[in-house]
Amino acid sequence: MAVSGRGPYDPQNVFAKILRGEIPCRKVYENEYALAFHDIAPQAPVHVLVIPKGPYVSYADFSQTAADPEIAGFTRAVGHVAALLGLEENGYRLLANMGVAAGQEVPHFHVHLFGGAALGPMLHRS
């Protein structure tokens, strides 16, 4: 079910559990500010999630309340992961769902990184 993207932060959300090592993930990269792992239900040949280590509900929360070094460290980690996965030559897509209209399901800010194929139109049109 989609979530609002607003606080309070729920420390029992699935990505908080992954960060604490309570449930496994297929890790791609980790540094001081970010963890990247494969999405459990991939929607492209490469579908990786990059999450900040801090407790941010959504992009709104992260962009408004994270410290500058966290924002810089996280942003650089996303780019680093894309390069690490060899996606720079053919290109990739970043996506962050915030709130109900976007269909955000997990209330811990995350960026989807898609690649490995031509990705089609940017948005589904009904």
Distance in angstroms (rounded) separating the CA atoms of residues 109 and 65: 12
Q: Identify which range of 53-61, 65-73, 81-89, 96-104 contacts ligand AMP by CB under 6 A.
A: 96-104
Asked if residue 105 binds ligand AMP (CB under 6 A), the reply is yes
Q: Which of residues 57-86 bind ligand AMP (CB under 6 A)?
A: none
CB of 107 to ligand AMP, least distance (A): 8
By the 10 Å C-beta count (0-12 exposed, 13-18 middle, 19+ buried), 38 is classed as middle
CA-to-CA distance for 79 and 75, rounded, in angstroms? Answer: 7
Peptide linkage before 107 cis (omega within 30 of 0): no
CB of 78 to ligand AMP, least distance (A): 14
Q: Smallest distance, Å, CB 65 to ligand AMP?
A: 19
First to last CA, the chain: 20
Stretch that binds ligand AMP, among 35-43, 62-70, 81-89, 116-124 (CB under 6 A): 35-43
